[in-house]
Structure formats: C-alpha cells, structure tokens
Structure 1
Amino acid sequence: MKTRKIPLRKDIVSGEMFPKKDLVRVVRDKEGQVSLDPTGKKNGRGAYITLDVKTAETARKKKVFDKAFSQEVPAEFYDELLAYVDHQQARRELFGDGAQKANS
C-alpha cells in the first residue's frame, strides 16, 4: 500500500513543524474576530498551535496571536484556547490518537 504524505504545519509558538492533526488552527475572519477552528476549514487568516497546555500558556504569556494577527486578541480567547487544548490533551491521553478523528 502506498504511504500517504502527512501534511505539516508550523507551530506559531515554537516555530517547529508538526503533523497537522497534532495542531489546532486559530483563525481571524474578515470582521477581525479570532476563534478556534478545530475543523480547519473556516475562512480567514489561520495560525496553528500544538495541543499542549504548556505551549498554550506560553502563547497567552507572550500574546503570540496578537502579533500573528496584528491586532489585540481578548484575554477570554486565550482562556478558551487553554481550556480547549487541556481537553484535547486529556482526550488523547485517555483514548490515544483516534480521539482527534472522533471529535472532528
């Protein structure tokens, strides 16, 4: 069987490349709203972050998405991001890598 190419994306916090399924997309739409995009299909400018709580905390501390989207991102968004990443990390620990596919 032919091996499939695994799409890679760059984590905005560390600058490292990871498989797309190990990241979550954050998107800014035309209205300037910043939101999580677990499906990876929303319209707008996207940036990726790994599903790791420490990385999400670093993103909040350094205000990484403020810089990436050239606008101020509300603190509530960073709280939502941290909760989402924590939840996804816990799912992966419980169910393994298949948890991402079941949630999408």
Structure 2
Amino acid sequence: MKVKKVPQRMCTGCMEMKPKKELIRVVRTKEGELSVDLTGKKNGRGAYICRNLECLEKAFKAKRLQRNLEVSISDEIYNRLKEEIQDDR
C-alpha cells in the first residue's frame, strides 16, 4: 500500500509545521476582502493559524497575519477567528 502524503502548512503564530486540516485558513481575495476559510478551498492568498488562542495572539501582536496577507486585519476578522477557536473547545 502506498502511504498518503498529508499536506503540511506553517502556523503564523507559533511558526510550526502542522497538518493542513488542523489549521484555520484566512484568505485575501483579489479584491482585497478578508474572510475565514473553513473549507480551505477558497481562491486567494491564504495564511494559516492554529486552533489555539495563544497562537492567534502571537500572530496578531507581531502582525504576522498582516504581513503574510499583505493587508491590514480588521477587528471583525480577528473576533471571527477568536470565536472559531473558542467554538472548537
């Protein structure tokens, strides 16, 4: 049997490589709109974050999400990410 390769992505908070399915994706579309992509399939530039509040805080304080997505992150998106992480617990 062939072993299936699991796609890995880097969390922008803790900078660790993790399986893609364990992370939340934030997407910037060509129009510059930001959204939380739970499917992982939306078109656009994506950045990944762990389902951990500490990672979200680190990424937000260091402005890593903003740098990766090349756009400023609104409080609305930040709060949506926070809610998504808290819902998983």
Q: TM-score over 0.5 for the alignment? A: yes
Q: Is the 8 A contact 1:22 1:51 kept in 2?
A: yes
Please list, as runs of the form range in 1=range in 2, the aligned pairs for 1:1-104 lying within 5 A after superposition.
Answer: 1-88=1-88, 90=89
Q: Which has the higher helix share?
A: 1
Aligned-residue identity in percent: 43
Q: Is the 8 A contact 1:13 1:59 kept in 2?
A: yes
Q: Is the 8 A contact 2:12 2:55 kept in 1?
A: no
One-letter code aligned to 1:41: K
Show CA shifts across 1:64-87 (max 9, x none): 221112221111111111111111
Size of the alignment, in residue pairs? Answer: 89
Residue 2 of structure 1 deviates from its aligned partner by 4.1
Gaps of 5+ in 2: none
Distance 2:48 2:63 in 1: 14
One-letter code aligned to 1:54: E
Alignment root-mean-square deviation, CA:
1.4
User: What stretches of structure 1 move > 3 A for 4+ residues in a row?
Assistant: none
Distance 2:17 2:77 in 1: 24
Residue 40 of structure 1 deviates from its aligned partner by 0.4
Distance 1:76 1:63 in 2: 16
Residue 60 of structure 1 deviates from its aligned partner by 2.6
Structure scoring higher RCO (CA < 8 A, sep ≥ 6) equals: 2
- 1:48 is paired with a residue whose SS is strand
Gaps of 5+ in 1: 91-104
